[in-house]
């Protein structure tokens, strides 16, 4: 895991392809450069994306990190397809500074659309160049050859040369041009077929696959002593009280209000953390507001407003008005955030992290530590997961600070469950106000939507202020507030045909720290819109399917709804049991997704989500298993958000610090799930990893209404909301 690219080249018998990660835009392109996908315009050399090895295999580079979404498998599939290789001959190197392209963050369901498609073009360009060189050796035109399992072979198979022979004494170099010839999709044998992920068996066996599993010779362990409140300041600590009781303590690191301990064993570090916490004094901190009635508090906060859409006339006499609310929710990663950092004798910092953006993290560390970028190397290692910005960047920055205080030792820092729940950046609470007018034919003529939200994007992005320890060191970096505003308005525009629309986004700064969580604002926006659509359908006295279809003209949107309808069983006869539906197109430009949920209301008013169905159109699908897995997991996660999860806090800090105070859906409580895909191999691939979140929540809420007669507009749907 700690091999550099240079070490790999020395030991693997690799034949390189004109290595250059920084390229000038190439000249003489037949088509506009922007027609190339992803980051190919910044990294236009083949070797930035793959290496051909002497043994006939290929190593592919992606700037994306494996988060459990299966990107490693999908990227390998497209490379194997274009280079006519079996899957076992393709390995994928994940995000690492100075090794892989800088593809920013693994986020927004864009990895297939960008990274996998970049690799497809790079592999196709490599194929063309390999055939050209092989043809020169065999005195044949490239068109008379094809690649086959690490060799270039004549059509009749009577002559061939291996990759090693092709490249002997040569470096394969060249640009990836828009005119590169891709393999015809009708000839695909690997891409578009189900391929099982080879990392899943390792996870099941408990093999070391995560950053939490890393171990280095001489590695020591660390923990952070946390303040009682966000802005509490360190007043005093008694180091001697800890040294006397923890002989394994190596060092106490204090930098402003950043306080950490380093010990020989992990247990020693935990003991030292607990003891030092008892012998530390902090300032009180500013009280947090809104814990008793969060929705009311958020509605009272000052806002910065932005018009998202203004089309036609404003609403005058609405047929229906409603307010919806989503609380703060957390990533709740199964494995608490972890990192390893080493500051060596050459004053080089190495960081192993499950950050979703190794290059942006390096930029932020450069500012935090006042180190030049060339002295910081960041390697991405899968973590025991989450989708979004949890504590991965924070723990990496904390480990780096500690490593610089104790050079020469690999320092492993793992957060506790209390750290993870109490200090991660949450998904923002949101308020959504809707109003609409129906005409006498039951069609929506006017639509008004106003959302309120904190930021959904405060990733490091080169800013030390967005790293938790950056706020506590002696010369702190102050967060400016705001962040990525587009995350809040994601899917705030309905995908339906409505002639008059007014949509406004109001940004507030709330009491808790927030950033990116799977689907960002789309979960709350689709929940509100699709529940409101169901309410309007009832007002119009129309079936939920028919009402939606009447407001759609996109054939692909219509197709997922029609397919979903065919999958559903007859209406449940049992009392307190019903089915609800919802639809959305993620970002209004990504995958299409329709969801149905069957719920049962128990005698104690608790909700059992019995089964969920989803239909997904993600355009060209590289790995059907991967899309199904993402959708199944997304349905279960959204189910948990909808009926169970909410961050709680008091005037001092977050109080939901464990799995009891922040309960998530257990395996036994999870619904049965069924996913159908509508493959469109000739269409562009669309990101599908976050498409199901919003429709899932709305479908459950709509089903609860049909089963109980109670229209729940404030999440989560706790039993007490159904009583009375």
Q: Could you read off the pLDDT of 235-286 as tens digits, one per residue?
A: 999 999 999 999 999 999 999 999 999 999 999 999 999 999 999 999 999 9
- Whether the pLDDT of residue 167 is over 90: the answer is no
Please state the rounded mean pLDDT for residues 215-221.
97
Mean pLDDT, the chain, rounded, equals 92
Q: How far is CA 627 from CA 210, 382, 620, 633, 686, in A?
A: 22, 19, 11, 10, 11
CB 578 within 8 A of CB 639: no
Domains and CATH numbers, the chain: 5-204 (3.30.365.10), 211-284+331-423 (3.30.365.10), 430-721 (3.30.365.10)
**Tell me, what's the pLDDT at 384?**
84
User: H or E element: which one contains 628?
Assistant: helix 624-643
Q: How far apart are the first and last CA of the chain?
A: 58
**Which pLDDT tens digit goes with each residue over 328-386?**
999 999 999 999 999 999 999 999 999 999 999 999 999 999 999 999 999 999 998 78
Read off the tokens for 249.
Answer: 């303590």
Highest mean pLDDT among 11-15, 166-170, 274-278: 274-278
Read off the tokens for 261.
Answer: 């301990």
- Whether the pLDDT of residue 78 is over 70: the answer is yes
Say how far apart CA 322 and CA 429 lie, in whole Å: 17
Please state the rounded mean pLDDT for residues 45-61.
93
Say how far apart CA 260 and CA 240 lie, in whole Å: 14
CB 47 within 8 A of CB 19: yes
Single out the residue of 396, 366, 391 nearest to residue 379, CA to CA: 396
- Whether the pLDDT of residue 15 is over 80: the answer is no
- Whether the pLDDT of residue 13 is over 70: the answer is no
Determine what percent of the chain is predicted with pLDDT higher than 70: 94
Single out the residue of 11, 93, 108, 81 nearest to residue 51, CA to CA: 93
Say how far apart CA 323 and CA 307 lie, in whole Å: 19
**Which pLDDT tens digit goes with each residue over 697-721?**
999 999 999 999 999 999 999 999 9
Read off the tokens for 153.
Answer: 């072979």
CB 722 within 8 A of CB 606: no
Q: Within 13 A of 11's CA, how many CA atoms are on the CB side?
A: 6
**Tell me, what's the pLDDT at 593?**
98
**Helix spans in 327-448 (H):** 358-369, 392-405, 417-423
Please state the rounded mean pLDDT for residues 669-685.
96
**Tell me, what's the pLDDT at 524?**
98
Say how far apart CA 656 and CA 289 lie, in whole Å: 16
Please state the rounded mean pLDDT for residues 399-410.
98
E-assigned strands of 118-246?
A: 145-147, 151-154, 160-162, 220-224, 234-237
- Whether the pLDDT of residue 28 is over 50: the answer is no
Single out the residue of 629, 567, 572, 576 nearest to residue 595, CA to CA: 567
- Whether the pLDDT of residue 219 is over 90: the answer is yes
Please state the rounded mean pLDDT for residues 508-517.
96
Residue 408, burial from CB neighbour count under 10 angstroms (0-12, 13-18, 19+): exposed
- Whether the pLDDT of residue 632 is over 50: the answer is yes
Single out the residue of 552, 549, 548 nearest to residue 532, CA to CA: 548
Please state the rounded mean pLDDT for residues 641-652.
98
Instruction: Name which of 168-172, 381-385, 419-423, 572-576 the model is least confident about.
Output: 168-172
Q: Return the ∠ at Cα 673 (arms to 667 and 674), rounded to 5°.
A: 160
Single out the residue of 278, 250, 313 nearest to residue 445, CA to CA: 313
Any idea which residue has 């910044």 for tokens?
Answer: 42
- Whether the pLDDT of residue 724 is over 80: the answer is no
| Secondary structure class of 22 (helix, strand, coil) | coil
């Amino acid at each position: 895991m700690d091999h550099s690219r240079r070490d790999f080249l020395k030991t693997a018998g690799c034949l390189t392809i004109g290595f250059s990660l920084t390229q000038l835009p190439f000249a003489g392109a037949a088509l506009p450069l922007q027609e190339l996908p992803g980051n190919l315009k910044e990294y236009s050399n083949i070797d930035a994306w793959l290496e051909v090895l002497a043994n006939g295999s290929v190593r592919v580079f992606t700037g994306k990190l494996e988060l459990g979404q299966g990107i490693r498998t999908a990227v390998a599939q497209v490379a194997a397809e274009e280079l006519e290789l079996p899957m076992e001959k393709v390995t994928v190197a994940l995000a690492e500074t100075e090794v892989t392209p800088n593809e920013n963050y693994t986020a927004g369901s864009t990895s297939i659309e960008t990274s996998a498609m970049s690799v497809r073009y790079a592999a196709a360009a490599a194929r063309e160049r390999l055939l050209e060189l092989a043809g020169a050796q065999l005195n044949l035109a490239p068109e008379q050859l094809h690649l086959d399992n690490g060799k270039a072979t004549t059509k009749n198979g009577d002559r061939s040369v291996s990759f090693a022979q092709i490249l002997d004494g040569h470096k394969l170099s060249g640009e990836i041009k828009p005119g590169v010839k891709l393999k015809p999709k009708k000839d695909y044998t690997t891409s578009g077929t189900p391929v099982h992920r080879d990392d899943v068996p390792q996870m099941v066996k408990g093999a070391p696959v995560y950053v939490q599993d890393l171990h280095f010779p001489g590695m020591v362990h660390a923990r952070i002593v946390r303040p009682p409140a966000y802005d509490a300041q360190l007043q005093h600590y008694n180091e001697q009280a800890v040294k006397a009781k923890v002989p394994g303590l190596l060092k106490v690191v204090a930098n402003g209000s950043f306080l950490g301990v380093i010990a020989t064993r992990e247990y020693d570090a935990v003991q030292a953390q607990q003891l030092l916490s008892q012998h530390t004094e902090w300032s009180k901190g500013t009280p947090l507001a809104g814990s008793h009635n969060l929705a009311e508090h958020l509605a009272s906060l000052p806002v910065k407003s932005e018009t998202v859409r203004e089309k036609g006339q404003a609403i005058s006499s609405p047929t229906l008005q409603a307010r919806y609310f989503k609380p703060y929710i957390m990533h709740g990663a199964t494995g608490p955030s972890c990192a390893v950092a080493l500051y060596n004798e050459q004053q080089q910092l190495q960081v192993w992290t499950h950050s979703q953006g190794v290059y942006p993290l390096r930029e932020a560390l450069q500012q935090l530590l006042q180190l030049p970028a060339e002295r910081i190397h960041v390697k991405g290692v899968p973590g025991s997961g989450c989708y979004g910005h949890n504590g991965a960047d924070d723990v990496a920055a904390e480990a780096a600070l500690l490593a610089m205080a104790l050079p020469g030792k690999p320092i492993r820092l793992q957060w506790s469950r209390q750290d993870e729940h109490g200090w991660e950046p949450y998904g923002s609470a949101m308020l959504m106000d809707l109003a609409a007018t129906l005409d006498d034919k039951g069609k929506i003529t006017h639509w008004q939507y106003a959302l309120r939200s904190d930021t959904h994007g405060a990733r490091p992005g080169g800013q030390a202020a967005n790293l938790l320890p950056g706020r506590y060191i002696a010369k702190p970096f102050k967060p400016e507030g705001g962040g990525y505003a587009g995350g809040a308005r994601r899917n705030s525009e309905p995908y339906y045909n409505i002639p008059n629309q007014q949509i406004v986004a109001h940004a507030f700064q709330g009491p808790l720290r927030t950033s990116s969580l799977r689907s960002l604002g789309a979960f709350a926006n689709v929940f509100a819109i699709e529940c409101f659509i169901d309410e309007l359908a009832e007002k119009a006295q129309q079936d939920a399917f028919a009402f939606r279809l009447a407001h759609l003209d996109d054939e692909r949107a219509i197709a997922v709804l029609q397919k979903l309808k065919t999958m559903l069983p007859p209406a449940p006869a049992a009392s307190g049991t019903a089915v609800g539906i919802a639809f959305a197109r993620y970002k209004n430009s990504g995958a299409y997704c329709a969801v149905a949920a069957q719920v049962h209301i128990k005698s104690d008013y608790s909700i059992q989500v019995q089964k969920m169905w989803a239909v997904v159109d993600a355009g060209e699908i590289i790995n059907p298993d991967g899309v199904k897995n993402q959708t199944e997991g997304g349905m279960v996660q959204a189910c948990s958000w909808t009926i169970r999860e909410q961050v709680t806090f008091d005037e001092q800090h977050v109080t939901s610090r464990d799995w009891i105070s922040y309960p998530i859906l257990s395996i036994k409580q999870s619904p049965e799930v069924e996913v159908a895909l509508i493959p469109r191999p000739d269409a562009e691939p669309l990101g599908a990893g976050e498409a199901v979140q919003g429709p899932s929540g709305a479908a459950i809420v709509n089903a609860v209404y049909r089963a109980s007669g109670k229209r729940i507009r404030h999440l989560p749907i706790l039993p007490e909301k159904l009583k009375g």
